[in-house]
Structure 1
Amino acid sequence: MTTTARLAGAWKTFGGVPAVHPTSIELRPGVVGLLGPNGAGKTTLLRLLSTALAPSGGRIEVTGLDVTASHANRVQARRRIGYCPQEVVYPRGMTAVSFLDYIAVLKEWKNAASRAAEVRRVLDLVHLGDRGAMKVSKLSGGQRRRLAIAQALIGRPDLLILDEPTTGLDPEQRASLRGLLSGLAGTVLTSTHQTEDVSAMCDRVLVIDDGAIRFDGTVPELIATAAGRVHLGPSACAGAVQTWKTGTGLVRSVGGQPAPDSCVVDPSVEDAYLLLRSAGRTRQGVT
């Protein structure tokens, strides 16, 4: 399968403090979920791949172009990248259509008719076709988030990078976005705190913590790391990473010493992620 993007020992520091340690990964067509706590390096990694941020060292390739080699390569690669940052600033007074038209111009769509058709296409994809004439300032928070995703979809990018795309979306809108992303032909890299989004649509999962990739594999492979380590019973398991009372009245325990009256249950992506995080804290000597 064709490689869309590659990091070869790429790393980034800010003021001498590592944000992303030397990382080597390849991204191919499909949906890749990026999980990690706040401050783990998710946004920095996404910005490196989007070419919005230059690495401190190593090499980054996008669609076969070494974007660390020259400005010309970065410009050419950016034509094949769609990027939706966590925070989007909208020019004042613009409508949804005029904002997307502005972005399309920046992406060098010079033909007005083709540009208008593309704007209409991406608006329809995010179910904002009836909001095109509305000023962005009048849109709801969820609608503005969908508009941000729409601008990243302009031009059918080979690499679509989304930083927390489901923030502000209700459950129905999140489900719709999952359907959209899972049906795209290119490579989608999306960071999220929603583990259910990962289990619902991702072909591959990357878990990053303290600037380093701690897991790289499929959803079933991630879940398998927690097999036999999640229990349900009347009381919590001693030493569990996390416990909570479920709607059945029983307590779900992730990790720890199984209680005599508990039983093993199938783990989830969230369970596996919590256990990976716990292992990471142990490596760092944090209790």
Structure 2
Amino acid sequence: MTINDHVTARFEGVSKDYGHRSALGVTDLVLRPGIVGLLGPNGAGKTTMLRLLASTLPPTTGRITVAGHEVTGTHAERTAARRAIGYLPQEVTFPRGMTAFGFLDYVAVLKEWNATDTRHREVQRVLGLVHLAERATTKVARLSGGQRRRLAVAQALMGDPRLVILDEPTTGLDPEQRASLRGILSGLLGTVLLATHQTEDVSALCDRVLVIDAGVLRFDGTVVELVETAVGRVHVAPAALPGALTSWRTGTGSIRSVGGRPGADATPVEPSVEDAYLLLRGEPTTQGVVS
């Protein structure tokens, strides 16, 4: 067995331009089984990358393959690739009047699950996965925002796809629901690409993290490797460090600074994924120290 047997998806020289604006620079990327976090500010190119991978957006240049099939190839190849993908976009539109079960059944039909009994068993399975089995006959319009988000996640998990693409899946979920979703995702056997603003989700879940900014991949490595880039660069002190990217008062009354020039009264502390992400981007936040 070669290393390529473990490749779920691949970008080769992929880019995306909108007119004269580059949304994604030329990118090479290989995804293998595991959970991959994708971090980046708004407008960085995260959603563009996900849509390219999900085949809902054509690239300007390059070649994309999923499960050995070319997303950028013939119609037959693109269809085969799509059958290996589960995709949750940032915004999901639910047809009016459908129940939770009816919505998932509708999606399953679109995915060519033609055997009714098999399709219905799968719908029940994913409803149970996201803890909505008791809401199967509830109209989607009567579900809470968090329940609708879990229903949207459920449709992406149908059929145990080899590649699950999730764009901000924890939006609208409370802490208990987010923890539950982490449990679901950690049990998947394929490849999960998770775009999120929640650095704690990356810390808790991901084997690997990508950081994208202005359409360019700035980091590709493990969570530990990302955090290691910030070692010795986060301090607590009686006052904010000069030149810090951001500083705030902690519950103990000291000031925690990310970046900056430490003095003799500054003590280095263990950095977080968020600290490393901010330092990698190297831009001050809009808010300074809270006094």
- Superposed CA deviations along residues 181-239 of structure 1, whole A, max 9, x for unmatched, are 11100000010000000000000000000001000000000000001000011111100
Structure 2: state its 5+ residue gaps.
Answer: 286-291
Deviation at 1:128, TM superposition (A): 0.4
Please say if residues 13 and 62 of structure 2, whose CA atoms lie closer than 8 Å, have aligned partners that are also in contact.
yes
Please say if residues 238 and 259 of structure 1, whose CA atoms lie closer than 8 Å, have aligned partners that are also in contact.
no
Q: Write the distance in 2 (CA, Å) between the matches of 1:106 and 1:280.
A: 46
Q: Write the distance in 2 (CA, Å) between the matches of 1:59 and 1:211.
A: 17
Please say if residues 244 and 284 of structure 2, whose CA atoms lie closer than 8 Å, have aligned partners that are also in contact.
no
Q: Write the distance in 2 (CA, Å) between the matches of 1:280 and 1:62.
A: 38
Q: Give the aligned partner of residue 48 of structure 1.
A: 52
Please say if residues 209 and 280 of structure 1, whose CA atoms lie closer than 8 Å, have aligned partners that are also in contact.
no
Q: Give the aligned partner of residue 131 of structure 2.
A: 127
Q: Give the aligned partner of residue 194 of structure 2.
A: 190
| Structure 1 runs of 4+ with >6 Å offset | none
1:33 and 2:37 aligned: yes
Q: Give the aligned partner of residue 284 of structure 1.
A: none
What one-letter code is carried by the residue in structure 1 that aligns with 2:152? Answer: A
1:210 and 2:214 aligned: yes
- Superposed CA deviations along residues 148-175 of structure 1, whole A, max 9, x for unmatched, are 0000001100000000000000001101
DSSP 3-state at the match of 1:241 = strand
Match of 2:150 among 146, 149, 152: 146
Q: Percent identity?
A: 65
Q: Write the distance in 2 (CA, Å) between the matches of 1:102 and 1:142.
A: 21
What one-letter code is carried by the residue in structure 1 that aligns with 2:94? Answer: Y
- Superposed CA deviations along residues 46-73 of structure 1, whole A, max 9, x for unmatched, are 0000011110010100001111121111
What one-letter code is carried by the residue in structure 1 that aligns with 2:138? Answer: M
Please say if residues 3 and 29 of structure 1, whose CA atoms lie closer than 8 Å, have aligned partners that are also in contact.
yes
DSSP 3-state at the match of 2:282 = helix
Q: Write the distance in 1 (CA, Å) between the matches of 2:251 and 2:119.
A: 51
Q: Give the aligned partner of residue 71 of structure 2.
A: 67
Match of 2:223 among 210, 215, 219: 219
Q: Give the aligned partner of residue 104 of structure 1.
A: 108
What one-letter code is carried by the residue in structure 2 that aligns with 1:173? Answer: Q
DSSP 3-state at the match of 1:189 = strand
- Superposed CA deviations along residues 8-53 of structure 1, whole A, max 9, x for unmatched, are 0100011221000000010000000000000000000000000111
Please say if residues 230 and 276 of structure 2, whose CA atoms lie closer than 8 Å, have aligned partners that are also in contact.
yes
TM-score (norm 2): 0.95
- Superposed CA deviations along residues 231-265 of structure 1, whole A, max 9, x for unmatched, are 01111110001111111111110011003211000
What one-letter code is carried by the residue in structure 1 that aligns with 2:93? Answer: V
Q: Write the distance in 1 (CA, Å) between the matches of 2:88 and 2:69.
A: 21
Please say if residues 40 and 211 of structure 1, whose CA atoms lie closer than 8 Å, have aligned partners that are also in contact.
yes
Q: Write the distance in 1 (CA, Å) between the matches of 2:189 and 2:138.
A: 30
What one-letter code is carried by the residue in structure 2 that aligns with 1:132? Answer: A
TM-score (norm 1): 0.96
Q: Give the aligned partner of residue 289 of structure 2.
A: none
Q: Write the distance in 2 (CA, Å) between the matches of 1:217 and 1:239.
A: 27
Task: Report the RMSD for the aligned CA atoms in angstroms.
Answer: 1.2
Q: Write the distance in 2 (CA, Å) between the matches of 1:111 and 1:21.
A: 43
Residues 135-284 of structure 1 aligned to structure 2 (within 5 Å)? 135-278=139-282
Q: Write the distance in 2 (CA, Å) between the matches of 1:113 and 1:69.
A: 33
DSSP 3-state at the match of 2:230 = coil
Q: Write the distance in 1 (CA, Å) between the matches of 2:284 and 2:242.
A: 20
1:7 and 2:33 aligned: no
